[in-house]
Amino acid sequence: MTGKLEGKVAFVTGAARGQGRSHALRLAQEGADIIAIDVNKQLPTVPYRGATPEDLAETVRQVEALDRRIVAAEADVRDYGALKAAVDEGVTQLGRLDIVSANAGIFSNAPSDQLSEEAWDEMIDINLKGVWLTAKAAIPHLRVAGGGSIIITSSTAGIKGTPNFVHYVAAKHGVVGVMRTLANELAADGIRVNTVHPTGVETGMILNDNLFELFMPDLPAEQRTREEFAKRMTGLNALPIPWVEPVDISNAVLFLASDEARYITGVQLPVDAGSTQK
């Protein structure tokens, strides 16, 4: 039995680990070959461990273990030349491009009046400008293929405001505007564009000492455990869970990438355990 994406090629940004790796694997499980990029370095304003070349190599290993082809490169989504080179080389090797998962993003936090300009600029450049540049590099190839699907990772912070994350909220709201514009611009080419909006996802982006401190300032460091953090995160969601798993977002990305969503474009799809309803 063939997969939902048999014969298709997907471009995934931020693919070295976390949601990006999960998306690459889920799409590969359904038959897609993968073009994967990540920046593979520690970024100045990011308070958790950055991706490494070893992380991206592990994504390659896991995709190849599914008997799918993958072309991986180190590239920064802020660098249009590097993005275009990575996509062009991937298409040269794999033959086409049908799907884009604009997933790459960072997270940091501070009250609005204490946030540094450096943190603001790095957030907007990666989480907002990087999405536009990703689409810009991919659109010509999607047109050649006769259509396709662009799925942009936003957040519940792209639907509602959240204290201490003004730059993140601004970027994640911003990509909704990018999505809606591209959905209108590209509809005549058969290219669909949508956003997914996760609640907290079980990755290193939230499971780190920085957020433990933010959510548990009343506790000494040694008592800021994953278990206590989970209790506090559960209060943010309507369903009684602290966070979703990466594959939950990947399944939404797969749906929007597949022909099952062939007439869905310009929509915001929350995968949020009901958090935006609270």
Catalytic residue among 48, 80, 168, 263: 168
Q: Tell me phi and psi for residue 72, to 5 degrees.
A: -115, 145
Nearest to 128 by CA among 112, 106, 113: 106
Residue 266 has a CB neighbour count (10 Å cut-off) of 16
Q: Is 168 designated active site?
A: yes
**Which residues are paired to 37 by β-bridges?**
13, 73
- Mapped onto helix, strand or coil, the DSSP state of residue 215 is helix
d(CA 150, CA 129): 15
d(CA 105, CA 13): 9
Q: Which residue has the tokens 């949508």?
A: 194
Q: Which residues are catalytic?
A: 168
